[in-house]
Homo-oligomer: A and B are copies of this chain.
């Protein structure tokens, strides 16, 4: 890419919720030109016909010439992107994978959580986990970026600062609440308006894939064994995740020391915001911000983190990582404020 030019970007899987959010962000990004949209079910038709409210008129196609693009956002089902990734990378393309294929700290766990052998184990080592706040330097040279899952984004930002600093016990409870778009765009009874509206419920209590992702990353960050309980919940709203994390301070550690670590961590990062009160998810809708609060209750430190699951929890996070990778301003093309209400 010549420095005077804009990045040429493609989005694969462009008509799912994450894919279409990638398109929306990249199309409005001052340093990017969206040159190719891929999507099997919509191939041959215009993107703006698949996505109400879009003004991106590109035809959706079904195939990519790696020479024509600098970066691919792969918003595909797990195993699908992995099958293409090697070829794209060999063609000199930076791959931002929105799927789960390269997220697990230990690829050997893939079989357990995804029920099949890892589709591209040779690439696993090469992939950089794209939570910018934790891995900015490694991202600068990455050619395969694994964009974190939505729950892990919120859970890790809520947990890692205290855990890295050794201020809390390595025993973590994450009670997370997600809007319905986190389940993807495919119709099912589980996302039928009349089934989920006016209702909240826990799911995946006996084991959710994002629990495996979170735990692996926590172990790496703490460089120690960690115990994790992770319970996701479905909440009747379109977007947003709130992670409520329960941490036990180590003996002798004061609450102010812990919240101080979070304040410093947030102040140093353009996409984090420390709030004096627990943040409502609405306060980050549409933005790439994770809002963080620490409030003690008795012995326990309660950390809450709010994100937009499709932005900071997915597409925006991918753009943020791309910005770092290509030495663009980290928040370029990304909102860091959110209109209320």
A79: Cβ under 8 A from any B Cβ? no
Residues of B within 8 A of A195 (CB): 282, 341
Residues of B within 8 A of A83 (CB): none
- With A53-B337, A340-B20 in contact, do A199 and B229 touch (Cβ < 8 Å)? no
- With A231-B244, A340-B54 in contact, do A200 and B188 touch (Cβ < 8 Å)? no
B341–A202 touching, CB < 8 Å? no
- With A53-B338, A175-B175 in contact, do A193 and B238 touch (Cβ < 8 Å)? yes
A140: Cβ under 8 A from any B Cβ? no
- With A52-B282, A53-B287, A238-B198 in contact, do A192 and B191 touch (Cβ < 8 Å)? yes
Count of this chain's copies in the oligomeric assembly? 4
Residues of B within 8 A of A177 (CB): 177, 200, 233, 235
Closest B residue to A284 by CB, please name it: B53
B-facing mask of A231-244, CB < 8 A → 1, else 0?
Answer: 10101111110101
Q: How many whole Å from A131's CB to the nearest CB in chain B?
A: 22
Residues of B within 8 A of A28 (CB): 337
A283–B52 touching, CB < 8 Å? yes
Size category of the A interface is 35 or more
A187–B188 touching, CB < 8 Å? yes
Residues of B within 8 A of A188 (CB): 187
Residues of B within 8 A of A289 (CB): 53
Residues of B within 8 A of A53 (CB): 282-285, 287, 289, 291, 337-340
Give Cα A278 to B205, complex, Å: 8
Give Cα A244 to B201, complex, Å: 9
Give Cα A299 to B280, complex, Å: 31
A171-210 with Cβ < 8 A to chain B: 173, 175, 177, 179-181, 185, 187-189, 191-203, 205-207
A185–B189 touching, CB < 8 Å? yes
Residues of B within 8 A of A175 (CB): 175, 244, 246
A119: Cβ under 8 A from any B Cβ? no
Give Cα A103 to B104, complex, Å: 48
A332: Cβ under 8 A from any B Cβ? no
B237–A197 touching, CB < 8 Å? yes
A280-297 with Cβ < 8 A to chain B: 280-287, 289, 291, 295-297
Residues of B within 8 A of A206 (CB): 295-297
A200–B237 touching, CB < 8 Å? yes
Residues of B within 8 A of A338 (CB): 52-54
Residues of B within 8 A of A207 (CB): 297
Residues of B within 8 A of A282 (CB): 52-53, 195, 198-199
B297–A340 touching, CB < 8 Å? no
Residues of B within 8 A of A199 (CB): 237, 240, 280-283, 285
Report which A residues bind B (CB closer than 8 A). 17, 20-21, 24-25, 27-28, 51-56, 173, 175, 177, 179-181, 185, 187-189, 191-203, 205-207, 211, 227-231, 233, 235-240, 242, 244, 246, 273, 278-287, 289, 291, 295-300, 302, 304, 306, 310, 336-341
